[in-house]
Structure 1
Amino acid sequence: MSPDDELPEHRPNVGVVLFHPDGRVWLGRRAGTPEPWNWQFPQGGVDRGEDFHEAALRELHEETGARTVTYLARTEGWIRYDFPEGWGGSKAWRGWKGQKQVWFAFRFNGEEAEFDLAHHAEPEFDAWRWGYLEEAPELIVPFKRAAYEQVAQAFASLAARRP
């Protein structure tokens, strides 16, 4: 799959679901985003010619500081979402209609001290916590919800259930 093959109006992107060994998932609170829909997984753009797996590891490290991970799974095909009409985000300003994503599941094998939200120039997140995969669609901005539901379904067999 090449980033330019399908959905040319959507920015190529990778997303990462980082699993704790007990099956919970890493959730980051987006810096500068008001409640209630301000928690999400690490995600980011794929550079031209960049391998998706390498892009996922890069984005995970840039946004969380985490490096000590083991590959578990990935989604096949694109999972996409469109930006809402009138949405003024930087990607929409650059002419993108939305984002198309390949999602990766990794298991975190390190110490929590490895997480450093200020690791990269402009932090994406200002807080993080371990949560449950099935709650993630409830926590994300509504225009990304259907994509998160697909991700939750794709990785459900890896996840702990909410008590």
Structure 2
Amino acid sequence: MTEDLSAYRPNVGVVLFHADGRVWLGRRHNTPEPYNWQFPQGGVDAGEDLETAARRELAEETGVRSATLLGRTDGWLTYDFPADHQGGKVTRGWKGQRQIWFALRFDGDETEIDLMAHGEPEFDAWRWGKLSEALDLVVPFKRATYEAVAQAFHDFAG
């Protein structure tokens, strides 16, 4: 039986790999510790190609445009918002998010990274870290998705 995905907001995520296999981690703006780090992600506009959406979100949230496609996940990964989750996505009726994830290799200079590239920042700090490290930094309701992403992209982590 196929899961009904219509209640899940279409979304893309990006794991940005450094040439040495580390990954880009962003600390969510105005989000308390301990689960306030994640990879860039965001919604897909109506009719938008998924890779185009991923690159747009990456540029908006990090300023990064110099990146080469390494791979993507097969099929949609989903997560539900927790019952006490606040925010516009819930008030618009979404149960959670369905995501396709893209692995990209950063080909630019770190001066390209600009957390204010789109005006309102998604992140207020960033750093390079290990792919496996993200599992303990992301909010718990996204952890299973991050585990699937880490498994799918582990070969890119060197």
How does the TM-score come out when normalised to structure 2?
Answer: 0.96
Q: CA deviation at 1:86?
A: 2.1
1:1-163 aligned at under 5 Å gives the runs 6-160=4-158
CA RMSD of aligned residues (A): 1.0
**How many residue pairs get matched?**
156
Q: Percent identity?
A: 67
Distance of 1:99 and 1:88 partners within structure 2: 14
**Letter paired with 1:150:** A
Question: Partner of 1:63: helix, strand, or coil?
Answer: helix
Q: Secondary structure at the match of 1:135?
A: helix
Distance 2:132 2:87 in 1: 27
Structure 1 residue 137: deviation in Å? 1.0
Could you list the structure 1 runs, at least 4 aligned residues long, displaced by more than 3 angstroms after superposition.
Answer: none
Shifted more, 145-154 versus 85-94: the winner is: 85-94
Matches of 1:144 and 1:93, distance apart in 2: 19
The two structures have a TM-score, normalised by structure 1, of: 0.94
Give the deviation of 1:54 after TM superposition.
Answer: 0.3
Opposite residue 58 of structure 2, the aligned amino acid is L
